Amino acid sequence: MRLDVVTIFPEYLEPLRVALLGKAIDKGLISVGVHNLRDWTHDVHKAVDDAPYGGGPGMVMKPTVWGPALDDVLAGPDGETDPDVLLVVPTPAGRRFDQATAQRWSKEKRIVFACGRYEGIDQRVFDDAARRVRVEEVSIGDYVLIGGEVAVLVMVEAVVRLLPGVLGNQASHQEDSFSDGLLEGPSYTRPAVWRDLEVPPVLLSGDHGKVARWRHEQSLERTRERRPDLLPSDD
Ligand code: ADE
């Protein structure tokens, strides 16, 4: 999978190169390009934003900078727009990013992320891009970040860990919270007693059927308590 990020803060994306993501790059499972939006400015100030039409606070990022940047980054080897690219725009005004989105994106060949700052990016940038590629505006949660960079780190991590060969144990993401619609229950390791606290005896029983049933009950209980919105309603 090829991932590209366009941002005015390339250094914000450096964590993409550490730990599991760095290993995925080393193994050739993903390749990552981070591009500085200011490379597409033409003025001495390298301005990327301007006052909003209609007034109001903040600044809006300029289509005349974003347009050429995306033309270049969305291009395939022949210099024409690669029709297989998915363009992702992190924004608090987007549709919610969730585990199902991560699963769906993990099948993509190429994803380009366009990170906005300030009050966002001129809408015509995406209206124009949508004439050539699929565009998804997504939010990672109901809170407002300063920009899209941290959201990109979150989404890339959620997607890349699903790629075959990235996690050591392939089964481990099949048991994730959300993959069966429930939260994952508690986990324990040795010692069996620690600071007077015992590991639930069923986990030491060796009875795999009993363990699986107990884990499912724990998942249900935790979901009921913490995230009742994930359960089907009674009526
Ligand atoms: N940019 C600012 N806030 C965001 C959010 N909640 N999700 C995605 N991108 C954002």
Distance of CA 167 from the midpoint of ligand 1 (Å): 27
Residue 113 and residue 197 in one domain? no
- pLDDT confidence of 160, banded at 50, 70, 90? very high
ipTM surpasses cut 0.85? yes
Ligand 1: residues whose CB is within 6 Å?
90-92, 139-141, 143-145, 148, 151
Distance of CA 137 from the midpoint of ligand 1 (Å): 10
Instruction: Give the Å distances, CA to CA, from 122 to 50, 56, 66, 129.
Output: 10, 14, 9, 12
Residue minimizing CA distance to atom 4 of ligand 1: 92
DSSP 100-134: HHHHHHTT-SEEEEE---TT-B-THHHHHHTTTSE
Would you call 228 a catalytic residue per the annotation? no
Global pTM reads: 0.94
The reply to whether 235 falls in a domain is no
pLDDT surpassing 90 at residue 117:
no
Residue 119: per-residue pLDDT = 83
Residues of the domain holding 185:
177-230
Q: What is the CATH number of the domain that holds 162?
A: 3.40.1280.10
Residue 177: per-residue pLDDT = 76
Q: What is the CATH number of the domain that holds 183?
A: 1.10.1270.20
pLDDT surpassing 80 at residue 178:
no
Domain end among 118, 150, 170 = 170
Query: How many domains does one find in the chain?
Result: 2
Mean pLDDT, to the nearest integer, of 103-112?
98
Catalytic residue among 98, 176, 215, 222: 176
Residues at the binding site for S-adenosyl-L-methionine are 116, 140-145
Give the phi and the psi of residue 218 in degrees, each rounded to 5.
-60, -40
Would you call 108 a catalytic residue per the annotation? no
Residue 163 and residue 193 in one domain? no
